[in-house]
Structure 1
Amino acid sequence: LIDKPFLKVTDMLKVAPDLVRLQSYRSVYGYVSKFIKDDFLRRCFSFHPLLIGGNPLDAASLYVLIHYLERAWGIHYALGGTGAIVQAFDRLLAELGVTVHLNAEVAEILVEDGRATGIRLADGAVHRADNVVANADVAWTYLNLLPARHRHTNTDRRIQNLKYSMSLFVIYFGTKKRYIQAGGGYPQLAHHNIILSKRYKGLLREIFGQGGLPTDFSLYLHMPTLTDPSMAPAGHEAFYVLSPVPHLGADIDWAQAAGPYRDAIMNFLEENYLPDLQANLVAEHYIDPRHFQHTLNSYLGSAFSVQPTLLQSAWFRPHNRSEDIP
């Protein structure tokens, strides 16, 4: 269920007993609620689908496996941050003799006789290949890179009718003050901090619905300098905070909403977790759903692509190997 591709319907049939045993027809929240009565603990043990773009009220209960994955495999952080991972990949590819073409926008995946045979770049250059691997957003790939005449399964209609994850509002910021030690009644922060709104179900319905921007929020606050001081100059702290928000299918004008939403989050952090935060800011920028759509080519600005509902999981999800170009 967790580390195998589902390319054929028989792959799905093999795990059907596990899906029944895990009562996958239930939502994660519904499944957790069978065992836990306390409202706060229900929130604590059911929010995890948000980490992969799912609504805990809709995501199939099989995603309680996230708890197991974290316990069995651990949660890891690369010293130097994500940039260090990118640099390591660059070194590895160089050692293997791989040439990486940067700033080379792909315009089309070329298909001949039912097989992907290469790519055409925006400047018209063609690169032939034995295999084509697309690591872009799946909806963007099908709707923009693979012409409709080659798609009989992943049609425009199918892709557009899928349920997509929420988006994110993310603020990256640095301070000239360290927040390692709590004080003055403020809680002690960890590397990873989950801050859940007391309004749980209603907030989730607004985030995953087509309404406006909620006035309250749940947050994830990341404080990497607690583990890795190299992420900021001496005496400084690095953070990012993210808030799940509706994707661009919702009626929200982010050109108008982004600034006030940023202010609300930073004021909340200052009042409850990071005293004198805004007086100590030395670096900051934020991204909203427009960034996910226009920079990351994510359909509707969704942060995690296709939602992990039961009928959009495993074999029902767009496959790792395209059904249209096997």
Structure 2
Amino acid sequence: MRALAAALLALMPMADAAAAEPATLAGHVEFLATLDPPRNFDHPGSLDRAAAYIEEQLERAGWTTREQPFEVRGNTYRNIVARRGPADAPRVIVGAHYDVHGDLPGADDNASGVAVLIELARMLADYEPAVGLELVAFTLEEQPAFSLGAMGSAHHADQLVAAGVEVRAMLALEMLGYFRDLPGTQRFPVPVLGWWYPTTGNFVGLIGRWRDRPLMQQVQAGMRAGGDVPVHYLASPLDFPGLDNSDHRNYWPHGWPAAMVTDTAYYRNPNYHTRFDIPGTLDYQRMAALVPALAAAVRSLTQTEDASPP
């Protein structure tokens, strides 16, 4: 499973652990978005190639990984889990799904989130958290798994419950590559939100339930301290459109704080779930600036044994 990924990795320069390089992020996105056939539910072989690539990258960054396999309709799919920190401490989860919707490239959705996850691992290569920290590449976030209840993140959450793990927080990295500096490029499910939030699509959004507000405030503060990409959060009732459209949804039923980190997907990116969601449409400079911001937020969540956000 790892042979192709290992060969490709041998040709790629190692990134400086102190910085995220736009070209390195672009390389991750290019690999995932050009897999043929696309990395979706109907092509488990391509999902395996994507998983092998991600696993090799995380290991090269100094993390110990394991595969978390499960079966759906006779096929085996796998999450890739990298963990460090005390095994008996509360845990923080940061994840991104690597599958794609249909036979599409899926550069922003969600090769961008996976690329940021990989470079986050590299930036945290020498970091020793006070609690458990898991970086997870999820399979099967997209349809039909989404509606079947067969999402990789649901399997991951269920296994945490079975193991008796206490989860402090979960962050889902979902579409993190599309930014625009023109006014009017940011839309909202409820137009009145334009009174409170920027209408220029150059920020990162933190999306969660009202009860996740303390988590999002802590993440926002950490990201603002660690980078220069604007960050705004939206805490909302559960019936808000798009609130649960990613992997964080599967941690809520267990009572755990969880939120999505996103460029807001179809409220900004017109290429969402189309053949135009290709690597050349993404802003790798801003993605690179986002990585240290997320690293600062992760450190703020994992540097003490206190199990609840302030």
TM range (shorter): under 0.3
TM-score normalised by length of structure 1: 0.26
TM-score normalised by length of structure 2: 0.26
The structure with the largest alpha-carbon Rg is 1
